[in-house]
Amino acid sequence: MARTFDRPDGTAVPQTLTHLDRLEAESIHILREVVAEAARPVMLYSVGKDSAVMLHLAKKAFYPSLPPFPLLHVDTTWKFQAMYALREKAARDAGMDLLIHQNPAALERGINPFDHGSLHTDMWKTEGLKQALDEHGFDVAFGGARRDEEKSRAKERIFSFRSATHGWDPKNQRPELWNLYNARKAKGESIRVFPISNWTELDIWQYIHLHNIEIAPLYFSAKRPTYNWDGQLFMADDIDRLQRVLGHRPDIVERSIRFRTLGCFPLTGAIESEARTLPEIIQEMLLTTTSERQGRVIDRGDGDASMEKKKREGYF
Amino acid sequence: MAETLPHSSAYQTDALIASDIDAYLVQNQNKSLLRFITCGSVDDGKSTLIGRLLYDSKLIFDDQLAALEADSARIGTQGQAIDFALLVDGLAAEREQGITIDVAYRFFATEKRKFIVADTPGHEQYTRNMITGASTADLAVILVDARKGILTQTRRHSIIAHLVGVRNLVLAVNKMDLIDYDQARYDAIVADYRAFATSIKIAAFTPIPISGFKGDNVTTPSPNLPWYAGPTLMAHLETADFDATVAQSKPFRMPVQWVNRPNLDFRGFSGLIAAGTVKPGDAVRVLPSGKATSVARIVTMTGDLETGVAAQSVTLTFTDEIDCSRGDVVVAADDPPEVADQFEATIIWLADDAMLPGRPYWLKLGTQLVSATVQPPKYQTNVNTMEQLAAKTFELNAIGVANFSTDKPIVFEAYADSRTLGGFILIDKITNATMAAGMIHFALRRSHNVHRQATDVGRETHAALKNQTPRLLWFTGLSGSGKSTIANEVEKRLNLMNRHTFLLDGDNIRHGLNKDLGFTDADRIENIRRVGEVAKLMTDAGLIVLTAFISPFRVERDMVRTMMPEGEFIEIFVDTPLAVAEARDVKGLYKKARAGTLKNFTGIDSPYEPPEQPEIRVNTVEMTPVEAAEFIIRQVMPLK
């Protein structure tokens, strides 16, 4: 609730907005601009903490209406079970349609992160996303990316223009002045819009804390079955499936772990932690010496421009 | 030499985080947010400075530092030392070339403030990306290489920062280590800049000597600069005075983004409050219509507000059912902004294609989107001397002043009073590219004082008296395609059928009304605009008008289309392949054009954009002019 304090002479005392108030207002403005100008928008929903905040902002932006677009989850079949459970609940609570897309070619070939390396991301996520957008004819897709995540993200516009083949041309981005967004495009072209571009990881956590936003329990520490792979700690979310793909049953050890980001369970490194509350998570994040994406296997191995390369090819 | 600081405790309160996270969260939540840019010429050390700020503020994590050290050794430009620029130059092309192409946004915080810093490119070629960063900044750090002093880009960036309204300027004289921390040379650079700043009416700036590479005076006072008594750069950023609440003291303004209609009982108007405050019961007007009402509720998901203030996103409901939609602006009833269709503005041209006076562009201002044309420039500014130069057009990175006219009145304020209602972009109607940024000065007097005179005998009466339906038959095609011949045949037939017609022919009009126009793109556009206006007057008089002009550009043909009532503009594409038209060469013009004695000839060295969906298309290879005319007559009749 806004507070009002009037001076004795009747003039209002300026109301100070916190940086989170300002970020929230900016994100809501962006969400509404898209809905006003796009023919067929969609919100990419990945079940992570950033998606949770973006979804919450969408509810606020259009209240008392429901957000006038569906949610789209580009699935790899390798997400954590807890993520699938939250995905259904979050869509239901928001009163929004949930579309789920799994790349049929990847499904048929049984693409998995153990045998197929970077092909796993390429086919399930990059190709899967392009297929889903084309199939439904979505012309604008909201994504929960933040500029503080990665160097090429730091360079991206809030309205990021894509060619008819979903390519991104980082050397030739449209100027983006003030909060005036040029959402005009030719048939076949599309725009990826990032409403939380200017939020930091700390802002996201603090907002979740302040507004009591539901996030996957995987962010909180608990005793979970883990295994070591390639020198990193992972959670054995589906032990039988792991065994089928690996051809052997990995050594499972129960540990107190949690996750800083969420993706495919065989690609998302866990951290050993005792943080069981939001303030404890924030405390741990602020005192850590490694970056958020450090646990993401997807970002490693392709040199320092791997994210940019993926984005040019159509990855979110 | 300043030591490379270990992760400085000046930034993050590690002790508080460790001992009392809840207290830290409360403290962090109430920090103010400062957005600033770093700008200046190539190699003045912008990226290095930001890398240094991030490093010193403990925002470089171990895994990133390891990658940075490896990159520095491999492709860095600082020998064996860490090349901080590699932290921010995130695009592959930037790292390969060692330059900054696009603006990068980085984030850091101290105990007092949160910062969003936009690192902007120094190359003139990428000025449009610098402007993108500057448009949202509260403060600009203008870097100067102490060895080089004030350069063209220093001046250009200062002018742009000043133009877009950044009032808090810092002159960071960088690389002091490379001039042995010499006070005399520092003082000379500051004096130089002061003279320049005064000339462009920059009232004040804060000079600070630093070394981004060595860390001098960035976050801690440097022992190498004993003669300097002012604040470090960081201390200045933390305390720089900018009033985030100043917009609240202005009259209420809210551009409507979206009409919120969840059901028949609720009709709300959603938007970001641009200025002022609003309470239930406040008297407001909806512009441009001017209809008055009052605010019933300020709706948000977490409950109705007692007061809405500038920079909040809200949904308003009114006490009356009045017409209001996207593009309208809700304003304080007793203090409305301008509504006009002509204004003067400063413009920064951002596109490779030059500005074409008279060409219609989309103009987006707030949530308003209208068609607008730019008059020939009043002047262009020389960024070195601040001289006002005569100009026929604006090319990439040009800064100048021109008058604008829009196809319907828009709601605006001077940019000096409101970034939201005074700043606009121009968008190309065909490519959808963002062509320019503009900042409005004021409405032109004539847009207030020239009103349309209502006449008693209207266009319907004129047409009824002639017993016909007015039409504009617009023939377009290459020179020598047969436009005039076919149009002449069509007019002859219409006259035999007792229709009142008039044929406007390109060559004839250029002997009279348009004798002052040549064949440049700008003149071609003005040619078509005038013909369109004349044709419109003639259809108002009830006539069936035929025009035969090459009219090579799609945008201008569409401009004439939108001037006419729906359905009255009939575009007739006289489709003749270039080779056929050139072989005919009735007037010998193609020969001259090929020989190079005739410039800007359509089809040879000036483009022709064929219609995408003409109402009528005639193929003059397959049809004779008479057949084509009969075909057209069959399509357009009866015209009663």
B312 and chain A: CB distance < 8 Å anywhere?
A: yes
Instruction: Name the phi and psi angles at B461, rounded to 5.
Output: -65, -45
Instruction: Name the phi and psi angles at A71, rounded to 5.
Output: -95, 145
Is B606 a residue whose pLDDT tops 50?
A: yes
> How do the domains of chain A map onto residue ranges?
19-202+308-312, 215-301
* CB contact set of B142 (below 8 Å; sequence gap of 6+): B39, B40, B154, B157, B158, B161, B169, B170, B171, B172, B205
DSSP-derived pairing of the beta strands B379-381 and B399-412? antiparallel
Mean pLDDT of the region B385-392:
86
Position B318 scores a pLDDT of: 97
Position A148 scores a pLDDT of: 86
Distance CA B152, CA B530 (A): 41
DSSP-derived 3-state class of residue A101: strand
Residue A298 amino acid letter: I
Cβ-nearest to A19 among B32, B272, B365: B32
Position B524 scores a pLDDT of: 84
Mean pLDDT of the region A262-276:
89
Q: Which two tokens stand for residue B475?
A: 């023939």
Per residue in B552-584, pLDDT (tens digit) is 989 889 889 988 988 899 999 999 999 999 998
- Radius of gyration (Cα) for chain A, nearest Å? 20
A284 and chain B: CB distance < 8 Å anywhere?
A: no
Most A CBs within 10 A among B28, B166, B324, hence the mutation to make, goes to: B28
Cα B564-B567-B570 angle, rounded to 5 deg: 85
Per residue in A284-313, pLDDT (tens digit) is 888 876 666 666 655 444 444 566 777 677
Pick the range with the lowest mean pLDDT from A103-112, B79-88, B118-127, B319-328.
B79-88
Label residue B459 exposed, middle or buried (CB < 10 Å: 0-12, 13-18, 19+): middle
List the single residue in A with minimal CA-CA distance to B438: A177
Q: Which two tokens stand for residue B256?
A: 């409507």
B135 contacts A287? CB cut-off 8 A: no
Position B472 scores a pLDDT of: 94
Active site residue B551: yes
Pick the range with the lowest mean pLDDT from A11-15, A229-233, B82-86, B179-183.
A11-15
A163 and chain B: CB distance < 8 Å anywhere?
A: no
Distance CA B451, CA A165 (A): 49
Whether this model's ipTM surpasses 0.85 comes out as: yes
CB atoms closer than 10 angstroms to residue B507: 10
Residues on chain B touching A3 (C-beta within 8 angstroms)? 306
Position B371 scores a pLDDT of: 94
B28 contacts A62? CB cut-off 8 A: no
Distance CA A129, CA B270 (A): 31
Distance CA B157, CA B196 (A): 12
Per residue in A12-70, pLDDT (tens digit) is 556 778 889 999 999 999 999 999 999 999 999 999 999 999 999 999 999 999 999 99
Q: Which fold has domain A19-202+308-312?
A: Rossmann fold (3.40.50)
Position B329 scores a pLDDT of: 97
Q: In this structure, what is the dihedral angle of CA atoms B540, B541, B547, B553, given to the nearest 10 degrees?
A: -20
Mean pLDDT of the region B48-74:
75
Between residues B502 and B521, which one has the greater pLDDT? B502
CA distance A200 to chain B (A): 7
Per residue in B290-301, pLDDT (tens digit) is 999 999 999 999
* CB contact set of B62 (below 8 Å; sequence gap of 6+): A289, A290
B313 contacts A25? CB cut-off 8 A: yes
Beta bridge partner(s), residue B268:
B260
Residues on chain B touching A209 (C-beta within 8 angstroms)? 25
Q: How far is CA A19 from the centre of its chain?
A: 21
Cβ-nearest to B128 among A4, A155, A175: A175
**Residue of B289, B405, B551, B606 with catalytic role:** B551
Q: What is the mean pLDDT of chain B?
A: 87
Distance CA A105, CA A128 (A): 9
Is A112 a residue whose pLDDT tops 60?
A: yes
Domains of chain B and any CATH numbers: 14-239 (3.40.50.300), 247-332 (2.40.30.10), 338-449 (2.40.30.10), 459-636 (3.40.50.300)
DSSP-derived 3-state class of residue B387: coil
Q: Residue written as tokens 């290879």?
A: B621
Q: How confident is the model at residue A4 (pLDDT cuts 50, 70, 90)?
A: very low
Position A85 scores a pLDDT of: 93
Q: How confident is the model at residue A82 (pLDDT cuts 50, 70, 90)?
A: very high
Position B243 scores a pLDDT of: 67
Position B6 scores a pLDDT of: 37
B21 contacts A174? CB cut-off 8 A: no
Q: Residue written as tokens 């606020």?
A: A60
Position A138 scores a pLDDT of: 95
- Give the closest residue to A111 by CA, choosing from A223, A313, A266, A272: A266
Distance CA B486, CA A11 (A): 72
Q: Which two tokens stand for residue B309?
A: 């203030």
Per residue in A137-180, pLDDT (tens digit) is 999 999 999 998 877 788 889 999 988 888 888 778 889 999 99
Distance CA B535, CA B293 (A): 41
Contact indicator for B391, B380 with CB cutoff of 8 Å: yes
Most A CBs within 10 A among B99, B131, B272, hence the mutation to make, goes to: B272
List the single residue in B with minimal CA-CA distance to A201: B107
Q: Which two tokens stand for residue B362?
A: 């989309």
CA distance A111 to chain B (A): 29
CA distance A5 to chain B (A): 10
Position A294 scores a pLDDT of: 60
Is B604 a residue whose pLDDT tops 80?
A: yes
Q: How confident is the model at residue B608 (pLDDT cuts 50, 70, 90)?
A: very high
Cβ-nearest to A308 among B92, B116, B364: B92
Position B317 scores a pLDDT of: 97
Biggest distance spanned by C-alpha atoms of chain A: 79
Position B13 scores a pLDDT of: 62
Pick the range with the lowest mean pLDDT from A79-83, B84-88, B606-610.
B84-88
CA distance B349 to chain A (A): 11
